[in-house]
Amino acid sequence: MSIAVCPGSFDPITLGHLDIVRRANRLFDVVVVGVARNAAKNALLTADERVEVARAAVAADPDTADVRVDVVPGLLVDFCREVGALAVVKGLRGGADFDGEQPMALMNRHLSGVETVFLPAEQQHAHVASSLVKDIARHGGPIDDLVPSAAAEAVRSAVAHRA
């Protein structure tokens, strides 16, 4: 059985992330979304909120309803070993993403042998980034066509009460 992990900070999960999860789910028998606990140092949402939002988002789409979402408590390679994943799947919006991802992919392979599979982001999602979503929300702008509805609500609430 082929198992893959789609890891990230997911602060919050975006429609671009979900497209990658959906496409990974076609390539692998089992896909687990791994929400890194400490990756986002200045996270707006707590790890539990990021997991809750990601779970609601994958459950809402029949193409991803069978995808699991869990916290990555430490190293990604340890999480991959725990779930039996031989591959990590990440989306690339462009060269800057590749430059950031390549060292992590090589380090993860160095640490445990896990391979990373890169999927090119759909052009319609090339400008969608969690950081921009949060910035737009902080200024009262529209984010509903960038993130799933659970994420939009969680971000708006966090911005209103915490930011």
Binding site for ligand PNS (CB under 6 A): 7-9, 36, 39, 72, 75-76, 104, 107-108
Peptide bond into 120 cis (omega under 30): no
Catalytic annotation present for 130 = yes
Instruction: Mark whether 90 is an active-site residue.
Output: no
Burial (CB count within 10 angstroms: exposed 0-12, middle 13-18, buried 19+), residue 134: buried
CB of 66 to ligand PNS, least distance (A): 22
93 is catalytic: yes
Distance CA 154, CA 135 (A): 14
Q: How many CB atoms lie within 10 A of CB 25?
A: 21
- Shortest separation between residue 137's beta carbon and ligand PNS, angstroms: 18
**Residue with smaller CB distance to ligand PNS, 135 or 160:** 135
Q: How far is the CB of 147 from ligand PNS (least distance, A)?
A: 14
Q: Is 2 a catalytic residue?
A: no
Cβ atoms < 10 Å from Cβ of 63:
14
Name residue 34's amino acid: G
Q: Which is nearer to ligand PNS, 89 or 152 (CB)?
A: 89
Q: Kindly list the catalytic residues.
A: 17, 41, 93, 130
